């Protein structure tokens, strides 16, 4: 099989916002405790953070990090997580049936972010709390001084404001599992009211209204329309969340998961633009795809559940998915989907980062290692700079149970005018055949092949584990060749590839 595409800097989709390479840290399972924070670990720094994890997170290349949840945030009292540690309460976390010790809170997390060089994106609790508590948190974080809450922050050891720019107005409020789950009408009203109040305090904040928890929610579409009808003027983004998994051994459909993500994004864009038209607004709402990943959620539903009135463990092993080669290929294709929509998806968070459906795993007292999904993220984050380009792939289609006829190859390109570098990201969804791709790169002028990386394996189920942490990685693609403005490369069956030129 063969495919053709064109990389031309004039075929602009949109500028790639660095926020597209964000991630997400929730107080959930072993993400914070025994993940990023383990005071007794040999690599722990003076604040108890694992420096081996810090190094991996830096290599991963994450921009903004969403915190502290997720479902967790809908029962969270932010005041519990600041001030002297000895005085912090132990609270029941109803979302994950665990105990939150509050040993790591806002200040500690902000300090960790400084170490990894990323920005904080905070979610406020609009499940069991309201506008006033959101305002209090904003005041504590962003007001330089002169008020009681700003002074509290200063007294707690952070004289400068945290200057949090991105704020989520609650989490997955459309989900019946969410503490304080609301109807679209009720949520739209409180989101609008809270957003207005927050802007009254700090007009510079960027605000995200909750969209749908998946494109398959029964309220999808109507939820976005109703919420934005209330909050359009008050917010900057509407969120999307999506998780994919292989179901019933249907690899063909799983490999086409990005088709669902494409449709999800395009439908939310259409809905937001519909509200824009109805309101006669000149403002455009962007998407914050602030939870996306491969997640074997059906497995979690079956096995991982913690129950019992007397059973609220601290940092239990939860959602510790171990990712395969096939998972990483799908993951890479989800990043292609985000880039293909860079004009409207201007913020995104990989859910999550360490131990919990994560690209990085840790063992208490032991090593930290990269899951298969680490590679497409770190390479895309490093190489996808400047402008995202539409490449118009010409390739055969294959038939899937879930999504009908789907292109065998999906791709996107990027071009950074400043450095003159370009990159092409490709996925071959064929389960049994390689595809040879011919890329017209003549519009780039004189360029050379800089890097090629392919993630593929004879064993699609191969994984990186504690016993074998480096079983899967990326390799240079020796088939890539460039001559006379034409790049050719062969993509193995079920593979993800990145190529940079410059």
Contacts of 159 (CB under 8 A, 6+ apart): none
Q: Which of 330, 351, 412, 487 binds ligand AHR (CB under 6 A)?
A: 351
How far apart are the C-alpha atoms of 177 and 255, rounded to whole Å? 28
- Directed axis angle between helix 257-279 and helix 222-231, to 10°? 40
Single out the residue of 380, 423, 295, 410 nearest to residue 22, CA to CA.
380
**Could you say whether residue 352 binds ligand AHR (CB under 6 A)?**
yes
Smallest distance, ligand AHR to C-beta of residue 26, A:
5
Backbone dihedral angles phi then psi of residue 324, each to the nearest 5 degrees: -95, 180
Q: Under a CB-based contact definition with an 8 Å cutoff, are residues 389 and 416 in contact?
A: no
- The span of 69-77, 83-91, 412-420, 425-433 binding ligand AHR (CB under 6 A) equals 69-77
Instruction: Give the DSSP letter of residue 89.
Output: P
Measured from the CB atom, the residue of 61 and 70 that comes closer to ligand AHR is 70
Measured from the CB atom, the residue of 171 and 400 that comes closer to ligand AHR is 171
How far apart are the C-alpha atoms of 445 and 498, rounded to whole Å? 20
Smallest distance, ligand AHR to C-beta of residue 73, A:
8
Measured from the CB atom, the residue of 72 and 232 that comes closer to ligand AHR is 72
**Could you say whether residue 386 binds ligand AHR (CB under 6 A)?**
no
Which residue number places its CB atom closest to ligand AHR? 70
How far apart are the C-alpha atoms of 481 and 476, rounded to whole Å? 12
Binding residues among 196-215 for ligand AHR as defined by CB under 6 A: 213
**Could you say whether residue 127 binds ligand AHR (CB under 6 A)?**
no
**Could you say whether residue 13 binds ligand AHR (CB under 6 A)?**
no
Q: Which of 35, 70, 211, 386 binds ligand AHR (CB under 6 A)?
A: 70
Measured from the CB atom, the residue of 102 and 352 that comes closer to ligand AHR is 352
Smallest distance, ligand AHR to C-beta of residue 214, A:
9
Measured from the CB atom, the residue of 170 and 252 that comes closer to ligand AHR is 170
How far apart are the C-alpha atoms of 327 and 246, rounded to whole Å? 8
**Could you say whether residue 26 binds ligand AHR (CB under 6 A)?**
yes
How far apart are the C-alpha atoms of 216 and 34, rounded to whole Å? 34
- The span of 68-76, 398-406, 421-429, 443-451 binding ligand AHR (CB under 6 A) equals 68-76
For residue 79, give the 3-state DSSP assignment: helix
| Binding-residue total with ligand AHR (CB under 6 A) | 10
**Could you say whether residue 291 binds ligand AHR (CB under 6 A)?**
yes
Q: Are strands 64-67 and 2-6 parallel, antiparallel or unpaired?
A: unpaired
Q: Under a CB-based contact definition with an 8 Å cutoff, are residues 454 and 497 in contact?
A: yes
**Could you say whether residue 290 binds ligand AHR (CB under 6 A)?**
no
Measured from the CB atom, the residue of 373 and 454 that comes closer to ligand AHR is 373
For residue 105, how many other CB atoms are within 10 A of its CB?
22
| Apex 144 CA angle, 141 and 147, nearest 5 | 85
Burial (CB count <10 Å: 0-12, 13-18, 19+), residue 488: middle
Contacts of 484 (CB under 8 A, 6+ apart): 442
Smallest distance, ligand AHR to C-beta of residue 275, A:
24
How far apart are the C-alpha atoms of 76 and 28, rounded to whole Å? 12
Q: Alpha helices of 8-130 — where are they, by DSSP H?
A: 51-60, 106-116
Backbone dihedral angles phi then psi of residue 154, each to the nearest 5 degrees: -65, -45
Smallest distance, ligand AHR to C-beta of residue 290, A:
9
**Could you say whether residue 118 binds ligand AHR (CB under 6 A)?**
no
Helix, strand, coil percentages (3-state) for the chain, rounded to 5, are 30, 25, 45
Q: Point out the catalytic residue in the list 100, 108, 133, 172.
A: 172
Q: Does the annotation mark 172 as catalytic?
A: yes
Q: Which of 69, 75, 332, 359 binds ligand AHR (CB under 6 A)?
A: 69
Q: Under a CB-based contact definition with an 8 Å cutoff, are residues 266 and 221 in contact?
A: no
- The span of 42-50, 66-74, 97-105, 305-313 binding ligand AHR (CB under 6 A) equals 66-74
Q: What are the structure tokens assigned to 265, written together?
A: 């994004």
Smallest distance, ligand AHR to C-beta of residue 334, A:
15
Site string for ligand AHR, 161-180 (x = CB under 6 A): ----------xx--------
How far apart are the C-alpha atoms of 41 and 49, rounded to whole Å? 9
- Which neighbouring-strand residues pair with 453? 498
**Could you say whether residue 464 binds ligand AHR (CB under 6 A)?**
no
Smallest distance, ligand AHR to C-beta of residue 321, A:
11
Site string for ligand AHR, 137-156 (x = CB under 6 A): --------------------
Q: What are the structure tokens assigned to 257, written together?
A: 């998961």
Q: Point out the catalytic residue in the list 26, 79, 246, 291.
A: 291
Measured from the CB atom, the residue of 353 and 501 that comes closer to ligand AHR is 353
| Cα→Cα distances 190→184, 195, 206, 227, Å | 10, 8, 17, 10
Smallest distance, ligand AHR to C-beta of residue 375, A:
21
Smallest distance, ligand AHR to C-beta of residue 39, A:
25
Q: Does the annotation mark 291 as catalytic?
A: yes
Task: Write out the residues near ligand AHR by the rule CB under 6 A.
Answer: 26, 69-71, 171-172, 213, 291, 351-352
Indicate which residues carry an active-site annotation: 172, 291
């Amino acid at each position: 099989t063969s495919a053709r595409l064109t990389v031309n800097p004039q075929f602009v989709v949109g500028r790639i916002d660095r926020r597209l390479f964000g991630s997400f840290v929730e107080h959930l399972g072993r993400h914070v405790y025994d993940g990023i924070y383990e005071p007794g670990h040999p690599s722990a720094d003076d604040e108890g953070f694992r420096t081996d994890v810090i190094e991996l997170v830096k290599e991963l290349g994450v921009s903004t990090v969403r915190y502290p949840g997720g479902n967790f945030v809908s029962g969270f009292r932010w005041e519990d997580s600041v001030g002297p540690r000895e005085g912090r309460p132990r609270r029941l976390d109803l979302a994950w049936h665990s105990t939150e010790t509050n040993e790591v809170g806002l200040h500690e997390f902000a300090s960790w972010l400084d170490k990894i060089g990323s920005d904080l994106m905070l979610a406020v609790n609009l499940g069991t709390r309201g506008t006033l508590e959101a305002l209090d948190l904003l005041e504590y974080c962003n007001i330089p001084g002169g008020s009681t809450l700003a002074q509290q922050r200063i007294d707690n050891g952070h004289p400068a404001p945290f200057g949090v720019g991105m704020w989520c107005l609650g989490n997955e409020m459309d989900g019946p599992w969410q503490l304080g789950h609301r109807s679209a009408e009720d949520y739209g009203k409180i989101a609008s009211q809270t957003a207005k109040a927050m802007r009254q305090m700090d007009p510079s904040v960027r605000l995200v209204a909750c969209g749908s928890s998946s494109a398959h929610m029964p309220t999808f579409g109507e939820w976005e329309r109703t919420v934005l009808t209330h909050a359009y003027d008050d917010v900057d983004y509407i969120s999307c969340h999506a998780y994919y998994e292989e179901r019933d051994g249907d690899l063909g459909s799983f490999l086409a998961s990005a088709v669902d993500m494409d449709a999800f994004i395009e439908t939310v864009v259409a809905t937001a633009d519909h509200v824009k038209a109805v309101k006669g607004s000149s403002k455009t709402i962007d998407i914050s795809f602030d939870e996306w990943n491969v997640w074997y959620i059906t497995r979690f539903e079956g096995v991982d559940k913690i129950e019992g009135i007397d059973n609220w463990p601290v940092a239990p092993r939860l959602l510790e998915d171990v990712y395969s080669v096939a998972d990483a290929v799908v993951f890479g294709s989800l990043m292609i989907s985000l880039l293909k929509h860079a004009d409207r998806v201007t913020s995104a968070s990989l859910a999550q980062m360490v131990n919990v459906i994560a690209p990085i795993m840790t063992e208490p007292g032991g090593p930290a290692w990269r899951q298969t999904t680490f590679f497409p993220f770190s390479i895309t984050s490093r190489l996808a700079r400047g402008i995202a380009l539409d490449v118009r792939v010409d390739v055969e289609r294959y038939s899937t149970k879930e999504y009908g006829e789907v292109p065998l190859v999906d791709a996107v390109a990027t071009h950074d005018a400043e450095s003159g570098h370009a990159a092409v990201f490709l996925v071959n969804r064929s389960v049994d055949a390689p595809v040879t791709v011919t890329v017209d790169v003549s519009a780039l002028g004189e360029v050379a092949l800089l890097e090629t990386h392919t993630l593929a394996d004879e064993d699609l189920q191969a994984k990186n584990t504690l016993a074998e942490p480096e079983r899967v990685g990326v390799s240079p693609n020796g088939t890539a060749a460039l001559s006379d403005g034409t790049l050719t490369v062969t993509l193995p069956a079920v593979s993800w590839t990145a190529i940079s030129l410059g």
